[in-house]
Copies of this chain bind each other. A is one copy, B any other.
Amino acid sequence: MQIHRINPTRRWSDITVFNGIARFVEVPEDASGTIESQVRQVLAQAEQSLTQVGSDRNRVLSVTIYLTDFGNLDAMNAIWDDWFPEGSAPSRACVKAALADPDYQVEMAFVAVAGDRWH
């Protein structure tokens, strides 16, 4: 069974897929904005990643959410709750951690089911 890597660089691949499971991590492309902006970006980027592997918002299995400040938890949750179609929210862990860029306020690591042709 083949390992698929989307946009591999020396440092990371944007997505890896094996045996129907996609793994990818998102940080906001533009980290200059508010927590709302950053969460919307991370989820929009996640949607693009899901699309790239023939998947969608209904097929996320688990997310690890790293927040730099739990003062942002409610703002994050408001956007998060609206993003997943009803009945399709993943298992999730949510912890506080400083992130690689001091402007990042959120990072999310996803495990999702890829589309049929990736199985």
Contact = CB atoms under 8 A, between A and B. Distances in A.
Query: What copy number does this chain have within its complex?
Result: 3
A68 B12 CA distance: 20
7 contacts: A16-B91, A19-B21, A64-B93, A70-B100, A94-B99, A94-B100, A95-B99
Contacts of A109: 62, 64, 91, 93
Given A18-B61, A97-B97, A91 B25 contact: yes
Interface residues of A, number: 51
B11 A89 contact: yes
Interface of A: 1, 3, 5, 8-16, 18-21, 23-25, 58-59, 61-62, 64, 66, 70, 73, 77, 80-81, 84, 86-100, 107, 109, 111, 113, 119
Contacts of A84: 10
Contacts of A1: 20, 113, 119
Contacts of A73: 100
